[in-house]
Structure 1
Amino acid sequence: MLTRKQLDLLEFIHKRLQRDGVPPSFDEMKEALDLRSKSGIHRLITALEERGFIRRLAHRARAIEIVKLPEAMESGETFVPRVIDGDKRAAPAAAMPVGGSGATDLPVMGRIAAGVPIAAISEVQNHVAVPGSMLSGKGHHYALEVKGDSMIDVGINDGDIVVIRETSTADNGDIVVALVEDQEATLKRFRQQGNTIALEAANPAYETRLYRDDQVKVQGRLVGLIRSY
């Protein structure tokens, strides 16, 4: 599933390729999507490439090839992204006790990136039973499937299921679902100093990313992990 911004960028590139035969520049993309910096375009381009919608051709400036289009663009449907707001009153899907087992049936809301940010929270894909002891305190919980390896040093591997408690706040050192610039969500360790928020990976192959505090929204905090073997 693509975010609204990803779909807008893909549509803009597609129209320019059809009209001019060459893709737009990053400056033109930034202006078309009303973004404040080209770093946001870089993230969107990377996300589209990872999902197989575009391909960047090596050693050629502005060389972007569209590999496929989403069904929503081909059919003319309206795309409506769904993102869970932290500390919301209603759960995305009711967490139901599993009779007598002490487990709780949680909705798996999609994938979360432990690496380059991807769209994380969309719609219920399935459910997973988790021990009641894994659910920390009050509040709504949901589960996400991990994609990527940037958190492997804290034991979170590609394909694992993380259990998240919805919250809009976090303490330094918490592992959180962070929404960056209302576009991309990622699973990282949270640290804040003044007006700067650092999203830290737990893998030396990935750099810590720094943002202004108004660019990051906490969507939830990690409270449990279900290993995938």
Structure 2
Amino acid sequence: MLTRKQLELLDFIQKRMARDGVPPSFDEMKDALDLRSKSGIHRLITALEERGFIRRMAHRARALEIVKLPESMERAAQLQAEATQPPGFTPKVIAGDKVDPPRGALEVTATAMELPVMGRIAAGVPIEAIAQVSHHVAVPGSMLSGKGEHYALEVKGDSMIEAGINDGDIVVIRSQGTADNGDIVVALVEDHEATLKKYYRRGGMIALEAANPAYETRMLREDQVKVQGRLVGLIRSY
């Protein structure tokens, strides 16, 4: 049995990982639960880990993974996904017994879905756009947002490390042509360069912002940038 605060924290972590693909920071957890210090978050994290709901990965910043959810939370997530499933979109489901998700993915359902990995995406200096399937990867159905088609890309570079996205990780992308400020997106620059960055609209310009102070924000005209999708999940490379 979890306490109210433990449930609140687990729910916050699950929703942020489902939205952004990476765990929230301890400061974000503290603010979300209206706690005065991060020591309270440390205690809640330890309690959730001892009860087998989450796992902390050693020597990695913000490295949390959800191992399981309480039945009520898992059912609520499933109902929400079913309610938002668009007509005509039928993901490929891997049949058989329980499928173990890739390490670092959210292990919240027994069903995995197979997505095409469309090559590599630069989290650094933009590289040439990728349009061919290199292989496929199985991801938990709970990682998908339930809206639109999805694909995966292998990350190359370190410009998004402060968002928890490392070189060699696999990012799960929901295909869409628009984005809100702060979204992490696949951006196609001048129709031939693809990059993974935070998206901001500033006046008549588009800012593609790294999550690493070593990289400068790139300012481009609106007609130079096309959004190809938004980050919805992450499979860590170990």
Query: TM-score, structure 2 length as denominator?
Result: 0.56
Note the alpha carbon deviations across 1:18-42, whole angstroms, 9 max, x for none: xxxxxxxxxxxxxxxxxxxxxxxxx
On the 8 A contact 1:111/1:119 being kept in 2, the answer is no
Note the alpha carbon deviations across 1:76-115, whole angstroms, 9 max, x for none: xxxxxxxxxxxxxx99xx8411115411000001000000
Aligned pairs for 1:164-175 within 5 A: 164-175=173-184
TM-superposed CA distance for 1:144, in Å, is 0.1
Alignment partners' CA distance in 2, 1:223 and 1:119: 22
Q: Which moved more, 1:114-123 or 1:95-104?
A: 95-104
Alignment partners' CA distance in 2, 1:224 and 1:185: 18
Amino acid at match of 1:227: R
Q: How many residues align?
A: 139
Alignment partners' CA distance in 2, 1:195 and 1:131: 38
Q: In the alignment, what sits opposite 1:133?
A: 142
In the alignment, structure 1 residue 97 sits paired with structure 2 residue 93:
yes
Q: In the alignment, what sits opposite 1:149?
A: 158
On the 8 A contact 1:112/1:121 being kept in 2, the answer is yes
Query: TM-score, structure 1 length as denominator?
Result: 0.58
- Identity %, equivalent residues: 75
Q: In the alignment, what sits opposite 2:191?
A: 182
3-state SS, counterpart of residue 159 of structure 1: coil
Moved segments of 4+, more than 6 Å: none
Note the alpha carbon deviations across 1:25-66, whole angstroms, 9 max, x for none: xxxxxxxxxxxxxxxxxxxxxxxxxxxxxxxxxxxxxxxxxx
TM-superposed CA distance for 1:125, in Å, is 0.7
3-state SS, counterpart of residue 97 of structure 1: coil
On the 8 A contact 2:119/2:134 being kept in 1, the answer is yes
In the alignment, structure 1 residue 112 sits paired with structure 2 residue 114:
no
Note the alpha carbon deviations across 1:164-201, whole angstroms, 9 max, x for none: 00000000000000000111010000000221100000
3-state SS, counterpart of residue 127 of structure 2: coil
Q: In the alignment, what sits opposite 2:208?
A: 199
Q: In the alignment, what sits opposite 2:72?
A: none
- Say which one has the larger Rg: 1
Alignment partners' CA distance in 2, 1:210 and 1:116: 14
Gaps of 5+ in 2: 1-87, 97-109
On the 8 A contact 2:155/2:166 being kept in 1, the answer is yes
3-state SS, counterpart of residue 98 of structure 1: coil
On the 8 A contact 1:105/1:127 being kept in 2, the answer is yes
Alignment partners' CA distance in 1, 2:152 and 2:169: 10
Aligned pairs for 1:17-166 within 5 A: 95-100=91-96, 101-166=110-175
Alignment partners' CA distance in 1, 2:138 and 2:128: 24
Alignment partners' CA distance in 2, 1:134 and 1:115: 25
In the alignment, structure 1 residue 220 sits paired with structure 2 residue 229:
yes
Alignment partners' CA distance in 1, 2:170 and 2:129: 13
What is the RMSD of the two structures over their aligned residues, measured on CA atoms? Answer: 1.8
Alignment partners' CA distance in 1, 2:131 and 2:221: 25
Asked which structure has the greater RCO (Cα within 8 Å, sep 6+), the reply is: 2
On the 8 A contact 2:129/2:192 being kept in 1, the answer is no
Q: In the alignment, what sits opposite 1:67?
A: none
